[in-house]
Amino acid sequence: MDGASQHKVICSYCGDVISSKGDLVTLLSFPEIVDSVHTRCYGELSLRRSGPRVPLNSAGMWWMMAVFGAVCLFLFLLRNFDFLFILVGCIVPSIRLISWIMVERKFRD
C-alpha cells in the first residue's frame, strides 16, 4: 500500500473516493465501528434501511458528546455514580473520537 491510497476515504455504499470533508458522513456500524459514506449516499441509506442512523460527524453528535461528557464528569466528581453511567457517558465521546481518528483526520481542509 502506498502513502497516497492510505489517505483516501472510500464510500462504503458506492465504493467511490470521498474527496472532501463536506461530502463525508461517518456512521456507527458493526463490526467496522465507523462507516464512511457520501452525503448523497447517506440519503439513500436512510431511505433503504429501517430506522435513522445518526451521522457521527454531525452537529447533533457534538452536542451529545458535550452533554454526555459533562454528565460523566459530574457523576465522577460526585463520587455517587453507577459504573454503568460512567461507561455509557464515555461511549459517545469515544465513538466520536474513533470516527475522527479513523476517517476525518485524513481530510486536511
Does residue 38 bind Zn ion (CB under 5 A)?
A: yes
In the complex with Zn ion, the residue whose CB is nearer, 15 or 52, is 15
How does DSSP classify residue 106? G
Single out the residue of 9, 13, 35, 92 in contact with Zn ion (rule: CB under 5 A). 13
Minimum CB distance to Zn ion, residue 81 (Å): 41
Single out the residue of 11, 27, 28, 45 in contact with Zn ion (rule: CB under 5 A). 11
d(Cα 93, Cα 86) in Å, to the nearest integer? 12
* Amino acid, single-letter form, for residue 56: L
What are 53's three cell numbers?
442512523
Helix (H) or strand (E) holding 17: strand 17-18
Q: How many residues belong to the chain?
A: 109
User: Contact region for Zn ion (CB under 5 A) — 10-18, 42-50, 83-91, 94-102?
Assistant: 10-18
Residue closest to Zn ion, measured at CB: 11
In the complex with Zn ion, the residue whose CB is nearer, 41 or 103, is 41
- Contact at 8 Å (CB) between 56 and 26? yes
Binding site for Zn ion (CB under 5 A): 11, 13-14, 38, 41
